[in-house]
Structure 1
């Protein structure tokens, strides 16, 4: 079963994403801050998908995401939840290891559209 870690300061975002992704068959856990993810990864291993809420106001978030990317490794798919298209922030996030973006507020269709490619079963080459 694929694992997903959702990180966002807003409890309602964590709750909605948890419910939607759990219904998709993922093993989901949630955290409030990106800095908490390092200890989570040490205790549970790297998640398959990491969805992190990002605010342009939080200047430390890009560095925290870099640290999480380094700890989780390249096999973890990293998605940033953002409120608006901010080219500067999006560029810094891309450099930190973010693969794609999900705009808040989101609905089931938007979440499915962004995460669909990461939730498909791995194909093993013989």
Structure 2
């Protein structure tokens, strides 16, 4: 089973993401901020990371830069999931090593489509979506 780390300071967003990702057959780990997420990644790298931008302690952008410098840190597929929708934020995220970018609010279809694009899941049939 693939593992996804959900990094968001909102417990509600983490709960929604967990439900969606578990339906997509992921084992889910959670972190409230980039610092917690980095600590988890130094112990064991997940297959995927669903990452918020704006968080206390360490934001998603700083976390991503540090993740990519860890041994093996280029491995996890990182999907930013944020309310930041201007082209500057999107290009900064992708240039820093994010694999995809989705906007909040999100649903299962959006998450599944982005995870499929980066090769984390196979295409979902109409019945399972």
Fold shared by both chains (TM-score > 0.5): yes
- Describe how 1:35-114 pairs up with structure 2 within 5 A: 35-43=35-43, 45-55=44-54, 60-71=59-70, 72-114=72-114
**Greater helix percent: which structure?**
1
Which shifted more, 84-93 or 33-42?
84-93
SS in 1 for 2:25: coil
The answer for the alignment partner of 2:127 in structure 1 is none
Q: TM-score, normalised by structure 2?
A: 0.81
Once the two structures are TM-superposed, the CA of residue 48 in structure 1 deviates from its matched residue by: 0.5
Structure 2 unmatched ranges of 5 or more: 123-129
RMSD over aligned Cα, in angstroms?
Answer: 2.3
Once the two structures are TM-superposed, the CA of residue 55 in structure 1 deviates from its matched residue by: 3.0
User: Aligned residues, how many?
Assistant: 120
Q: Against the structure 1 CA distance between its residues 74 and 15, is the aligned structure 2 distance closer, same or farther, given a 3 Å change threshold?
A: same
Once the two structures are TM-superposed, the CA of residue 120 in structure 1 deviates from its matched residue by: 2.9
Cα distance in 1, alignment partners of residues 27 and 58 from structure 2? 30
SS in 2 for 1:119: coil
Q: TM-score, normalised by structure 1?
A: 0.83
Once the two structures are TM-superposed, the CA of residue 101 in structure 1 deviates from its matched residue by: 0.6
SS in 2 for 1:12: helix
Once the two structures are TM-superposed, the CA of residue 64 in structure 1 deviates from its matched residue by: 2.3
Cα distance in 2, alignment partners of residues 116 and 10 from structure 1? 25
- Deviation by residue 1:29-79 (Cα, 9 ceiling, x = unmatched): 111101212210122x111101101139x9954222200222252221011
